[in-house]
Amino acid sequence: MTRPVVGIIGNSHHLEERFYVQMGGENNFRAVAEVAGALPLMFGALPGITDIPSLLEVVDGILLTGARANVHPDLFGESPTEAYEPYDANRDTIALALTETCVEKGIPLFGICRGFQEINVAFGGSLHPEIRDLPGRINHRMPRLENGDIHPDIDFVFGDRHDVSLIPDGYFSKLYGTDTIRVNSLHGQGILQPGERIVVEGVAEDSTVEAIRVADAKGFAVGVQWHAEYDPQHNPINQLLFQDFGKALQAQRAAS
């Protein structure tokens, strides 16, 4: 059997203030290829170019990655402010429709960071632009130096920052065989209200939602707030997630 194919969503960037490009982080490609055992295939988050039915005839699953841009607040009934910026409206359009279609058809769907938030919004949930501003919450953004620069040590930036408590007998607790895991943290926006079909399976020490699944989904449909694409070749928490995603992809390929 040939390897299953994973569609990895692109992100819009204005390169050198001259060229509009679609980009994706290499960690996502390596995680899919080296841990999930699949062929990564990036597609443009561009309505009118990426036809979802045609895309899903080609791929066996979808990875909604993290990104610099946030989901537009219009999509969950909030007024746009600078706190929610920047945006990628084209990705919003593709990702939310793709989420609904994958869940309906049982096509494996894995959301990371922004992708996790997109899954929530697709099912009617809302987001907060700065989780750290809510009472009792910690700063979940990436570590920075005192002068505001991003910390130069990438392993420190993506290092484990806080625990996540998992609900008993849920997908994640069964996957890990424990009720507590420790993960990285590099996000400002986060889930405020879970969507109608969103099952919260993991929360951080400050009650920030960290792990979700879609209730009654026909196939693999989960999301995590942390960056699971970082070093799943060695990090056991991230490795197990991508390996299980790979199993779902293999099953989808065998059934097609």
Q: Which CATH number belongs to the domain containing residue 33 in this structure? A: 3.40.50.880
Domain that holds residue 54: 5-131+187-255
Asked if residue 153 has pLDDT above 80, the reply is no
241 within a domain of the structure (yes/no): yes
110 within a domain of the structure (yes/no): yes
Average pLDDT over residues 138-151: 70
172 within a domain of the structure (yes/no): no
137 within a domain of the structure (yes/no): no
Average pLDDT over residues 210-222: 96
158 within a domain of the structure (yes/no): no
Q: Give me the pLDDT at residue 119, please.
A: 98
Q: Give me the pLDDT at residue 145, please.
A: 65
Q: Give me the pLDDT at residue 1, please.
A: 57
Return d(Cα 93, Cα 191) in angstroms, integer: 19
Average pLDDT over residues 67-94: 90
Q: Give me the pLDDT at residue 157, please.
A: 66
pLDDT confidence band for 134 (50 / 70 / 90): confident
% the chain with pLDDT above 70 = 95
Q: Which residues are catalytic?
A: 113, 227, 229
Q: Give me the pLDDT at residue 169, please.
A: 95
List the single range of 99-108, 160-169, 185-194 with lowest mean pLDDT.
185-194
Q: Give me the pLDDT at residue 180, please.
A: 97
Q: Give me the pLDDT at residue 14, please.
A: 82
Count of domains in the chain? 1
155 within a domain of the structure (yes/no): no
149 within a domain of the structure (yes/no): no
119 within a domain of the structure (yes/no): yes
Contacts of 113 (CB under 8 A, 6+ apart): 65, 66, 67, 186, 187, 224, 225, 226, 227
Within 10 angstroms of residue 161's Cβ, the number of other Cβ atoms is 18
